[in-house]
């Protein structure tokens, strides 16, 4: 197993809202305010910051429609989609080893 690769993956996922955003986008295209409403507890500031980091990491794509009012759509990139899929075993691990979280 390649430790450096795992650390790189954990690195992008380690900011508080990354996993929640990936999960939300795994359900399809979402707009900024849509994410803001659907992800409980997140602030505009953190949503914007996390989206930027995920985009820089190549995990999501951002499309801007030059219209009034402004409209921006986010999607999972192939890499983001693959990363989210690779998280499934972690979910299984939690189910088995963290009964209190169930």
Partner DNA sequence: CTGAATCCAAGTGGATACTG
Partner DNA sequence: CAGTATCCACTTGGATTCAG
Two tokens, residue 67: 């219209």
Smaller CB distance to DNA: residue 6 or 44? 44
The least CB distance from residue 4 to DNA, in Å, is: 15
23 Cβ contact list (under 8 Å, min separation 6): 84
Task: Give helix then strand counts, H and E, for the chain.
Answer: 6, 3
Residues contributing to the site for DNA (CB under 7 A): 15-17, 31-34, 36, 41-46, 48-52, 62, 69-72
* Interface contacts to a copy of itself, rule CB under 8 A: 1-10, 13-14, 19-20, 23, 58, 78-79, 82-83, 85-98, 101-102
């Amino acid at each position: 197993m390649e430790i450096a690769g795992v650390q790189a993956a954990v690195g992008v996922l380690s900011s508080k809202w990354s996993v929640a955003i990936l999960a939300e986008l795994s359900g399809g295209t979402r707009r900024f305010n849509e994410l803001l409403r659907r992800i409980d507890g997140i602030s505009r500031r953190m949503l914007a910051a996390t989206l930027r980091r995920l985009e820089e990491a190549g995990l999501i794509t951002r499309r801007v429609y030059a219209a009034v009012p402004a409209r921006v759509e986010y999607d999972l990139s192939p890499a983001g989609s693959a990363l989210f899929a690779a998280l499934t075993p972690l979910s299984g691990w939690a189910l088995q080893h963290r009964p209190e979280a169930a």
